[in-house]
Amino acid sequence: MKCLSISVLLFCFTNFLFSQDFTRQTFKDTRVINTHSVETVAKRKLDVRIGHRFGDLAGSGGGWQSFYGLENAADIMFGVEYGITDNITVGLSRTKGAGPLKKLINTSLKYRFFRQKKDESMPVTMTAFGLWSVSTMKQDTSNSEVLNNFPEFSHRFMYSVQLLIARKFSNVFSFQVIPSYTHRNLVPFNDTNNLFSLGFAMRIQLSKVFGIIADATFPFSDLHTTENGYYPPVGIGLEIDTGGHIFQINFTNARGIMETDYIPNTQSDWSKGQFRLGFTISRTFNL
Amino acid sequence: MKKVSISILLFPLVILFASLVADDQLDFVIEKSTPVWDVLEYLGEPLPNHQVNESVNDASAEKGKDLMLIGITKKPKRGKTKKQSKHFVCTSCHNIQKEDPDLRLSNPQSRLEYAAENGLPYLQGTTLFGAVNRTSFYNGDYEKKYGELVEPTRHDLRAAIQLCAVECSQGRKMKDWEVESVLMYLWTLELKLEDLNLVNDDYDLIQDAVSTFKGGKDEETINYIQSFYQNGSPAHFITPPENRDAGYGLIGSPENGKLIYDLSCMHCHEAKRYSFFELDNSAITFRYLKNNFTKYAHSSIYQVARYGTSPIPGKKAYMPQYTAEKMSDQQLEDLRAYIEKMAE
């Protein structure tokens, strides 16, 4: 009887997901700039992604000496995301890493469980996102003060879970709220393993091809404050949709690309010119 | 006495045999649902070379239907086949229902209206309904597109199926049992007499011909029946207007253009069903299309409708062009008029 009830509930839920007239393209891509969006990769499609964050455009590390940051790479990401269903996406990527733990292998799972409907009976789209990062840095056993001393293998692990809630207000404007929880198994002295944060993202679609995107994430922590040299990662960018190919050019003060990296580790300040040019190329293939 | 008994016993047998022979001769009563090929065969027309080959094992019409509609079916032993194409299924570009009100003509406007009345999409490919009744495939200008590849397909439906599988749908070559399955399914879509829009006099004429048929070949009736449908789908490639700003110089009907947008463009582009390029009914989309009419790029409806796009490595989900028989210049202007109206 219990099984039957669960089956009926699952059927109703699946039916709810697949049989309604949904709002589409709240965001054009699965990522805004730093944050994920509520979008998932369509079933049987493979999204190949390359992301890049250059060095500081200005400030002490930028300017002419680094050709405005273009000669440095804060973080680089190569990854794929695959749509198991239209609502479930799995991802695998490698990032250089911009925080104290580098050489990251990231696996992710994304599940869109509510979709905004055109008849307004569901006003928002909700997606759960989970990320597991493993640092593959070489272990430094000679110095117990550094994080990559890795006393235990599990110290290489970092996690982030997010609830993405977005609404497409019109064909021009979409907005998203992102409560997040990030956990690092090993952190520097005085830092905290657990970090809650709240993010925001938006898109203004200028034309069929061009859109302005922006996002910001605010960690809730007594340590992660501007007084202590931490700044909220904020990004703004231009999104170009050429049909099957999304190209994003953005500026952000975040050095890291993955949530486990940029949420706890952003120490660059926009007002000091410590922001950088970044881009993401996404190309979807039918599988 | 013995002879009488034998005669009495044989008499009913002779009567029974005679009645069976007589029944055989009167058996073929044509009805509206009678397949056209049954009548033609009865009247002496040789069967086409795309008759189902019963010696191919593991083929079935059900598997053929799966392959055509979803691209995957059961393997002969166990498991499922690899998807025939990652990009398309047959119904991406072809209907499987009757799509022309009069099968003698290939008139895009009457087809569009028929599609709207019957809830069908309006597509670049010819319907597969009645495909087995045709004797010629990849006709006309398709040679310009596929070159010598069309030569073996012109009078061979199996070869045409394979060419469609590999080139048109950018998929894998099908195995013999898969081709035969598709063929079996296509035979379930063959023309019936009722599809030919015959009047009562036509039925009477055909019935008379069948009833009085003495063997051999009744050319006259065969030709008469075949005059009600085309033995191949004509295809003429045409170009965009020389001046894309001025268009074809025809006044467009937005109402007709809406039918084309909804039944044709949206069939593939809505929610990226078969294309990576999404179309919807938003003003942003219509403005984009309007702003690109004059461009020499895929974003121009003139360019993409008349030339289509090409499959390229990494992006094989291309768009086939519309021949003159599938979209008239007037219809393209109607589509433009609708886009202009919606972009306001």
Assign 3-class secondary structure to chain B.
CHHHHHHHHHHHHHHHHHHHHHHHHHCCCCCCCCEHHHHHHHCCCCCCCCCCCCCCCCCCHHHHHHHHHCCCCECCCCCECCCCCCCCCHHHHCCCCCCCCCCCCCCHHHHHHHHHHHCCCCCCCCCCCCHHHCCECCCCCHHHHHHHHHHHHCCCHHHHHHHHHHHHCCCCCCCHHHHHHHHHHHHCCCCEHHHHCCCHHHHHHHHHHHHCCCCCCCHHHHHHHHCCCCCECCCCCCCCCCCCCCCCCCCCCHHHHHHHHHHHHHHHHECCCCCCCCECCCHHHHHHHHHCCCCCCCCCHHHHHHHCCCCECCECCCCCCCCCCCCCHHHHHHHHHHHHHHHC
Residue type, B264: S
Residue A243: per-residue pLDDT: 73
Residue A244: per-residue pLDDT: 66
Residue B22: per-residue pLDDT: 47
Residue B312: per-residue pLDDT: 82
* Closest chain B residue by Cα to residue A207: B284
Task: List all residues of chain A from 244 to 263 with a beta carbon under 8 Å from chain B.
Answer: 244-245
Give mean pLDDT, residues B14-26: 50
Cβ A34 vs Cβ A235: under 8 Å:
yes
pTM attached to this predicted model = 0.85
The answer to whether A44 faces chain B, any CB pair under 8 Å, is: yes
Cβ B193 vs Cβ B34: under 8 Å:
yes
Please check the confidence at residue B18 and state whether its pLDDT lies above 60. no
Residue A8: per-residue pLDDT: 47
Categorize the per-residue pLDDT at A190 as very low, low, confident or very high, splitting at 50, 70 and 90: confident
Q: Tell me phi and psi for residue A79, to 5 degrees.
A: -160, 170
The answer to whether A281 faces chain B, any CB pair under 8 Å, is: no
Residue B314: per-residue pLDDT: 73
Give mean pLDDT, residues B107-115: 98
Verify whether the Cβ–Cβ distance B277 to A243 is below 8 Å: yes
Cα–Cα distance list, A118 to A86, A113, A165, A167, B323 (Å): 18, 16, 16, 11, 36
Distance CA A206, CA A28 (A): 13
Pick A25's closest partner by Cβ from B275, B278, B283.
B278
Distance from CA of B123 to the nearest CA of A (A): 21
Distance CA B324, CA B108 (A): 8
The whole-chain average pLDDT of chain A stands at: 91
Categorize the per-residue pLDDT at B91 as very low, low, confident or very high, splitting at 50, 70 and 90: very high
Q: Using a CB-CB distance cutoff of 8 angstroms, which residues of chain B are in contact with residue A287?
A: 86
Categorize the per-residue pLDDT at A5 as very low, low, confident or very high, splitting at 50, 70 and 90: low
DSSP symbol at A102 = -
Distance from CA of A245 to the nearest CA of B (A): 8
The dihedral region occupied by A217, where left means phi > 0, alpha psi between -120 and 50, and beta the remainder, is beta
Verify whether the Cβ–Cβ distance B283 to A205 is below 8 Å: no
Please check the confidence at residue A135 and state whether its pLDDT lies above 50. yes
- Take residue A247 and report the two structure tokens written for it: 């190209």
Please check the confidence at residue B27 and state whether its pLDDT lies above 90. no
Angle at B150 between CA B50 and CA B189, to 5 degrees: 35
Q: Tell me phi and psi for residue B80, to 5 degrees.
A: -115, 155
The answer to whether A118 faces chain B, any CB pair under 8 Å, is: no
Verify whether the Cβ–Cβ distance A208 to B271 is below 8 Å: no
Q: Using a CB-CB distance cutoff of 8 angstroms, which residues of chain B are in contact with residue A284?
A: 276
What tens digit of pLDDT does each residue of A194-235 get? Answer: 999 999 999 999 999 999 999 999 999 999 999 999 999 999
Distance CA A162, CA A9 (A): 25
Give mean pLDDT, residues A227-255: 92
What tens digit of pLDDT does each residue of B246-289 get? Answer: 999 999 999 999 999 999 999 999 999 999 899 999 999 999 99
Verify whether the Cβ–Cβ distance B278 to A24 is below 8 Å: yes
* Closest chain B residue by Cα to residue A211: B284
Residue B8: per-residue pLDDT: 58
Residue B3: per-residue pLDDT: 58
3-state secondary structure of A84: coil
Give mean pLDDT, residues A130-147: 92
Categorize the per-residue pLDDT at B11 as very low, low, confident or very high, splitting at 50, 70 and 90: low
Verify whether the Cβ–Cβ distance A243 to B285 is below 8 Å: no
What tens digit of pLDDT does each residue of B37-89 get? Answer: 999 999 999 999 999 999 999 999 999 999 999 999 999 989 999 999 999 99
Pick A171's closest partner by Cβ from B271, B284, B317.
B284
Give mean pLDDT, residues B311-340: 94
Distance CA A50, CA A77 (A): 6
Cβ A54 vs Cβ A74: under 8 Å:
yes
Verify whether the Cβ–Cβ distance A44 to B86 is below 8 Å: yes
Residue A42: per-residue pLDDT: 94
Distance from CA of A256 to the nearest CA of B (A): 29
Verify whether the Cβ–Cβ distance A205 to B278 is below 8 Å: no
The answer to whether A212 faces chain B, any CB pair under 8 Å, is: no
Categorize the per-residue pLDDT at A120 as very low, low, confident or very high, splitting at 50, 70 and 90: very high
Please check the confidence at residue A131 and state whether its pLDDT lies above 70. yes
Please check the confidence at residue A246 and state whether its pLDDT lies above 60. yes
- The H or E element that residue A16 is part of is helix A2-18
Give mean pLDDT, residues B286-308: 96
Distance CA B235, CA B250 (A): 22
Cβ B327 vs Cβ B260: under 8 Å:
yes
Please check the confidence at residue B301 and state whether its pLDDT lies above 90. yes
Per the listing, tokens 């200008």 go with B141
Cβ A112 vs Cβ A169: under 8 Å:
no
Please check the confidence at residue A7 and state whether its pLDDT lies above 60. no
- For an interface test with A, the pick among B276, B280, B287, B312 (most A C-beta atoms closer than 10 Å) comes out as B276
Categorize the per-residue pLDDT at B23 as very low, low, confident or very high, splitting at 50, 70 and 90: very low
* Closest chain B residue by Cα to residue A172: B284
Please check the confidence at residue B34 and state whether its pLDDT lies above 60. yes
Pick B282's closest partner by Cβ from A171, A245, A284.
A171
Verify whether the Cβ–Cβ distance B314 to A285 is below 8 Å: yes
Centroid of chain to Cα A59: 26
Minimal CA–CA distance to A38: which of A113, A118, A123, A131? A113
Please check the confidence at residue A13 and state whether its pLDDT lies above 60. no
Give mean pLDDT, residues B127-135: 98
